Amino acid sequence: MRVAFSACLLGEAVRYDGGSKPCPEVIALANKVEASPVCPERAAGLPCPRPPAEIVGERVLLRGGADVTDAFTAGARHECAAAQAAKIPLAVLKKKSPSCGIGLVYDGTYTGKLTAGDGVYASLLKKEGICVVTEDIVKSCTPSVEHPVAIVLGTGLGHLKSLVKPVRRIDYHDIEGFPADASPIEGHSFEALIGTVDEVPVVVYPGRVHLYQGYTAAEVTALVRHAHHLGCRDIIFACATGSVPGNAQMGLGILTDQINLTGRNPLAEWDGLRDVDTPFVDMNDAYSPYLRTIARGVADDLGIAVEEGVYAGMLGPCFETPAETAMLRTLGVSYVGMSTVCEVIMAKALGMNVLGLTLAANEAGAANIDHQSVLAEAEKHAEDFERLVRGVLRLL
């Protein structure tokens, strides 16, 4: 996978003050991918060191007033064209800078204060559909013993637990809020494994409970709150789904967004609310664009066929009628399942980085789907699913 990086984050002395801003987590990522160091100011031929530049309205001005908009724009265009030519899907950029800043940039007072906006280069990359993130996103997604990656496995995907070198096991019934009477359905097991997969610290939950079993949204999200308490910042949800004909094929998928059609929400239940600052959670980018882009890159590198699409969560447990399937197609849904949506809401409310992976094991609305056929289809894709998850973990 090819990734562009602000050269200063990799330790190159290209900043206005003649220095760099090396970030260990970013350097670690750069060492695992095909890294393209980028500095739009360097590409523009600006001297280094130089006075600091900030965005003032539509212009880029040096302290002292010189207008360097044309140079910044030329450098940004040059580097953006290079990223497009190299089909780069992801750029890790230095936050706040007038070229590379994302969402927040220095405000033109040269005092360190910030204002909403993107740097010139970041804004061009965004327009081209390239995923841009700051070093803070890479840091927040980097696992450690204190911050393991949580992995919640759904129907037919539980075999991934065999990859874990466990150091501790936790019976789900010892997890606060997990329903005391719950026992696993076929293909699930109710023991969390804390340990490593390929040396990456993980907590694997090889099964879940569902709303359709009569549990509340607070109960089905107990594992998410548990993972958060353990320090997990990344959480991977894997679920079996039906693919909506016309919008997705059967096989592996990366979830890009969701529609919660269950009629339930953990944030409407007191138990779910206890841990969160506000129930009015912003659900934009609920499925982390950074993690999605990493997953896409891994799949492409490994030659694993993976589609992407929107997930609709139904209450279940019956499968969809043809009319419901037609409705889902019209709504732009690619994958339909009976889990995940409440868990993603909970994880987003807790500020976690979510990756959603699915195995579409049947066509939604088809006749004669049953739990056994879902398990049998999942088995066929087990190896690719495992390679995909391991590949993602390697890059975190």
Binding mask 92-131 for ligand HPA (x = CB under 6 A): ----------------------------------------
Q: What minimum distance in Å lies between the beta carbon of 5 and ligand HPA?
A: 39
Q: What minimum distance in Å lies between the beta carbon of 325 and ligand HPA?
A: 8
Does 361 engage in binding with ligand HPA (CB under 6 A)?
yes
CB 177 within 8 A of CB 219: yes
Q: With CB under 6 A as the contact rule, which of the stretches 235-243, 246-254, 269-277, 278-286 interacts with ligand HPA?
A: 235-243
For the chain, the 3-state helix, strand and coil shares in percent, each to the nearest 5, are 35, 25, 40
Sorted by sequence, the CB contacts under 8 Å of residue 121 that are 6+ apart come out as 38, 40, 75, 76, 79, 80, 93, 99, 100
For residue 179, what are the CA distances in angstroms to 18, 209, 215? 58, 9, 8
**CB-nearer residue toward ligand HPA: 143 or 356:** 356
Does 338 engage in binding with ligand HPA (CB under 6 A)?
yes
Taking CB under 6 A as the criterion, the residue among 192, 197, 298, 336 binding ligand HPA is 336
Q: With CB under 6 A as the contact rule, which of the stretches 110-118, 174-182, 227-235, 236-244 interacts with ligand HPA?
A: 236-244
**CB-nearer residue toward ligand HPA: 247 or 362:** 362
Q: What minimum distance in Å lies between the beta carbon of 304 and ligand HPA?
A: 20
Q: What minimum distance in Å lies between the beta carbon of 182 and ligand HPA?
A: 19
Q: What minimum distance in Å lies between the beta carbon of 338 and ligand HPA?
A: 5
Taking CB under 6 A as the criterion, the residue among 122, 150, 364, 393 binding ligand HPA is 364
- Nearest CA among 203, 340, 210, 352 for reference residue 276: 352
Whether the upstream peptide bond of residue 317 has omega within 30° of 0, thus cis, is yes
Chain centroid to Cα 56, Å, comes to 33
Binding mask 282-321 for ligand HPA (x = CB under 6 A): --------------------------------x----xx-
- Nearest CA among 324, 292, 297, 298 for reference residue 310: 292
**CB-nearer residue toward ligand HPA: 38 or 314:** 314
CB 355 within 8 A of CB 298: no
Taking CB under 6 A as the criterion, the residue among 240, 295, 306, 347 binding ligand HPA is 240
Number of residues near ligand HPA (by CB under 6 A): 14
DSSP, res 185 = P
Measured CA to CA, the distance from residue 53 to residue 57 in angstroms comes to 13
**CB-nearer residue toward ligand HPA: 72 or 319:** 319
Helices (H) and strands (E) in the chain, counts: 13, 17
Does 242 engage in binding with ligand HPA (CB under 6 A)?
yes
**CB-nearer residue toward ligand HPA: 101 or 154:** 154
Tokens 């995909």, located at residue: 388
Q: What minimum distance in Å lies between the beta carbon of 12 and ligand HPA?
A: 48
Does 190 engage in binding with ligand HPA (CB under 6 A)?
no
Does 359 engage in binding with ligand HPA (CB under 6 A)?
no
**CB-nearer residue toward ligand HPA: 194 or 369:** 369
Q: What minimum distance in Å lies between the beta carbon of 383 and ligand HPA?
A: 20
Does 362 engage in binding with ligand HPA (CB under 6 A)?
yes
Q: Is the dihedral of CA 223, 228, 232, 238 positive or negative?
A: positive
C-alpha count within 13 angstroms, C-beta hemisphere, residue 176: 10
- Nearest CA among 360, 236, 207 for reference residue 298: 236
Does 221 engage in binding with ligand HPA (CB under 6 A)?
no
Q: What minimum distance in Å lies between the beta carbon of 185 and ligand HPA?
A: 12
Measured CA to CA, the distance from residue 240 to residue 319 in angstroms comes to 13
Sorted by sequence, the CB contacts under 8 Å of residue 321 that are 6+ apart come out as 365
Measured CA to CA, the distance from residue 239 to residue 155 in angstroms comes to 6
Give the footprint of ligand HPA on this chain (CB under 6 A): 240-242, 314, 319-320, 336-338, 361-362, 364, 369, 374
